[in-house]
């Protein structure tokens, strides 16, 4: 058992949730996270890399399209290939799909407006190392804050996600029911977050770091950071 999980938050020039992710990680685990500038070419063996939300390079062309070419991405791939954990939140999720570590792509929100609000999510898979602290079928609340969050994928890709149990979060109503067309952004199959086949790369549009402290209006996000911390260290927080 190790007592420490070494986590880092990647910083692209337009990242704006980088400090938030580090702050939430520290608030939950009591351990500071490193910041890693996107031009880095060699990273230590971090247990966890967080790709934060924001507008990595202004995202004028397409969210995450340019970030994919940052030098640090080779290292993200290297660590992911070796089974280290990678968590992409919002813009981080968009980058992971552009990089190809996760399938699919994000479209403009259905109503063409940026949406910032708390949403209900159903935790569809609690066997991942990111969600093991949640109970089966848990209904949780995380905020979303994005303009391009409509998850999209071809039908074969969707079937694979469904069959392999790789859909981790779905948008739901307050009663936990997932209804077709019920996502706030037009996501296919109401998908809010998915994991890779190996189970070490998670991407999601909602922001767990924004509701990880009760004073901010809820702490459902805490459990995600606790889960991954516990998986890495064997220690509870």
Contact between 134 and 126 under an 8 Å Cβ cutoff? The reply is: yes
Binding of another protein by 71 (CB under 8 A)? no
Name the minimum Å distance from CB 18 to another protein.
9
Binding of another protein by 116 (CB under 8 A)? yes
Name the minimum Å distance from CB 74 to another protein.
15
Task: Report the residue from 6, 35, 77, 107 that binds another protein according to the rule CB under 8 A.
Answer: 107
Is 132 catalytic? The answer is no
Give bridge partners of residue 115 from the DSSP assignment. Answer: 146
Among residues 198, 193, 202, 197, which one has the least CA distance to residue 228?
202
Binding of another protein by 207 (CB under 8 A)? yes
Catalytic residue (choose from 17, 21, 63, 90)? 90
- Rounded to whole angstroms, the Cα distance separating 221 from 217 reads 11
Candidates 17-25, 74-82, 119-127, 196-204: pick the segment binding another protein (CB under 8 A).
17-25
- Rounded to whole angstroms, the Cα distance separating 170 from 183 reads 8
Locate 13 and state its tokens.
């020039």
Q: How far is CA 157 from the centre of its chain?
A: 19
Is 84 catalytic? The answer is no
Binding of another protein by 141 (CB under 8 A)? no
Give bridge partners of residue 170 from the DSSP assignment. Answer: 122, 191
Contact between 119 and 144 under an 8 Å Cβ cutoff? The reply is: yes
Locate 148 and state its tokens.
């391009």
DSSP E strands in 64-114: the ranges are: 85-89, 105-107
Binding of another protein by 110 (CB under 8 A)? yes
- Looking at the Cβ atoms of 84 and 104, the one nearer to another protein is 104
Is 90 catalytic? The answer is yes
Binding of another protein by 172 (CB under 8 A)? no
In the block, residue with structure tokens 């999510």: 121
- Rounded to whole angstroms, the Cα distance separating 131 from 123 reads 8
Binding of another protein by 147 (CB under 8 A)? yes
Candidates 49-57, 122-130, 162-170, 228-236: pick the segment binding another protein (CB under 8 A).
49-57
Interacting residues toward another protein by CB under 8 A = 13-17, 19-20, 23-24, 53-55, 57-62, 65-66, 68-69, 97-98, 104-105, 107-117, 143, 145, 147, 152-154, 186, 207, 209-210, 213, 215-217
Active-site residues: which are they? 90, 207, 209
């Amino acid at each position: 058992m190790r007592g420490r999980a070494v986590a880092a938050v990647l910083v692209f020039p337009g990242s704006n949730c980088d400090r938030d992710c580090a702050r939430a990680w520290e608030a939950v685990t009591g351990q500071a996270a490193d910041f890693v500038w996107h031009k880095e070419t060699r990273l230590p063996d971090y247990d966890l890399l967080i790709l934060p939300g924001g507008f990595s390079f202004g995202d004028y062309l397409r969210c995450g399209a340019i970030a994919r070419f940052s030098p640090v991405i080779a290292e993200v791939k290297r660590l992911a290939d070796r089974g280290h954990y990678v968590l992409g939140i919002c813009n981080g999720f968009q980058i992971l799909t552009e990089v190809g570590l996760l399938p699919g792509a994000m479209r403009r929100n259905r109503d063409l407006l940026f949406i910032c609000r708390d949403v209900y999510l159903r935790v569809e898979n609690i066997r991942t190392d990111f969600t093991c602290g949640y109970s089966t079928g848990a209904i949780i609340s995380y905020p979303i804050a994005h303009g391009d969050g409509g998850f999209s994928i071809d039908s074969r890709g969707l079937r694979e996600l469904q069959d392999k149990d790789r859909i981790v979060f779905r948008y739901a109503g307050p009663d936990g029911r997932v209804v077709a067309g019920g996502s706030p952004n037009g996501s296919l199959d109401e998908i809010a977050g998915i994991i890779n086949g190996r189970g070490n790369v998670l991407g999601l549009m909602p922001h767990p770091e924004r509701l990880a402290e009760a004073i901010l209006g809820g702490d459902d996000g805490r459990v995600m950071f606790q889960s991954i911390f516990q998986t890495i260290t064997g220690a509870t927080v």
